[in-house]
Amino acid sequence: MRNPISTAILGLFLLFGFVPFGQADEAAEITKMTKEKVNNVISYLRDESLDKEVRNKQIIDEVNTMFDFNQMARLSLGKKWKKTKKQQRKEFVKVFVQRIQQSYLEKLELYTDEEVIIEDAELTKKNRATLTTYLVSKGDKKEMIYKFYKHKKRGWLVYDVNILGVSFIQTYRSQFAGVLKNKTMDELIEDLKNPEQS
């Protein structure tokens, strides 16, 4: 039986969305573009003619524009971010992104043509929005709520997602805080580079 958390995490990476706006109805544009991104990723998964390595590169290229990795990395460290040296920040963001991408590709292997339901996005503040999605499989419906903010140059980007009521960023923040109680930032970075040894 498929692990429901793993399946939900798969949905997390399938459904991140990015939208450059210039139109009035921004919520509608978030919804529209998210659906387009989902369809693009799923089309790669269904294309059996693609070599796995080529497919993975196409998918990563697709989703790289969807994330504000710097914001996600900063938020995952919380107050520790300000106390981290510039070079450490740069290295941390690099390995954090690699960790997310690797996890994403691993979870893609679990995809078996589940149905994705995307509801209309809602603006919660001037520069904030949420979008609720569901991953449906054999009558099981898992909720994922995506949190967007509007970047001054890049438009709408996802900075967090709640999976089954649990914040992606809060989960990482808790894990990293626990590690940093006993290890240095450099050691945390090494752990992220070599998760099988940490």
162-187 confidence digits (pLDDT tens): 888 889 899 999 999 999 999 999 99
Give the per-residue pLDDT at 19.
Answer: 39
14-24 confidence digits (pLDDT tens): 544 343 344 34
Residue 190: pLDDT over 90: yes
3-class SS of residue 52: helix
- The domain locations on the chain are 4-197
Give the per-residue pLDDT at 22.
Answer: 41
**Average pLDDT for residues 128-144, to the nearest whole number?**
88
The larger pLDDT score, comparing residue 88 to residue 135, is at 88
45-90 confidence digits (pLDDT tens): 889 999 999 999 999 888 877 788 889 999 999 999 999 999 999 9
The angle formed by the CA atoms of residues 118, 32 and 55, to the nearest 5 degrees, is: 80
Long-range Cβ pairs for the range 112-120 (8 Å, 24+): 112/137, 113/46, 114/7, 114/11, 116/11, 116/14, 116/15, 116/38, 116/42, 117/141, 118/15, 118/31, 118/34, 118/35, 118/38, 119/31, 120/27, 120/28, 120/31
Give the per-residue pLDDT at 12.
Answer: 52
Give the per-residue pLDDT at 195.
Answer: 76
Residue 154: pLDDT over 50: yes
d(CA 83, CA 90): 13
d(CA 121, CA 147): 10
Q: Could you tell me the CATH superfamily of domain 4-197?
A: Tgt2/MlaC (3.10.450.710)
